[in-house]
Structure 1
Amino acid sequence: MSVNKGDSTPTWVDPDDAPELTEEWLEGAHLYRGDQLLKRGRGRPPLERPKIAVKVRYDQDVIDTFRASGKGWQTRMNLALRRFLAEHDVSELDQR
């Protein structure tokens, strides 16, 4: 005969003990289709200076160099441009 040792924790949780789903909670929720994130909740405030998507053409060797640096290459490219702007007057550049 088996003896109940009494040290097991219950695995059943009463569904009535679940927190109430409010509009505020739903607005902050992430929406997924399978493993793909479709919509991110409003959990973080909007950025003070959001990034802007633009179409730009660069020389192939410039892109190859940044891409070879691995994940985050666009962020590093943005940082390199920001540092360049801090050190140079763009209006004085030769536009050849």
Structure 2
Amino acid sequence: MTKRDPITDAEEAEIQAGIASDPDNPEWTESDFKNARPFVEAFPALAAQIRRARGPQKAPTKQLVSLRLDQDIVERFKASGPGWQSRMNEALRRASENLSRV
């Protein structure tokens, strides 16, 4: 993250003046607040589409884990394109078949 000097009072005043004069985002009036409706009521079809964008995982469910892998291995799988996580899972599955059971 880049460290920046704090803005001056003059810069702050210029920013606030720009906000106040923005024609695309005027200050709300009492009437605006009275007429406001929740997104779900104003756009029910779009709200439904957003809700069903991704549901619960279908069986068999996978377990979320965090592990550290060598950078070159991850880069090699990522370079293979979309679906690299599934290919990595399959490679681990094949490798696990060679492990002795404890």
TM-score by length of 1: 0.47
TM-score by length of 2: 0.44
Which structure is higher in helix share? 2
Larger relative CO (CA 8 A, sep 6+): 1 or 2?
1
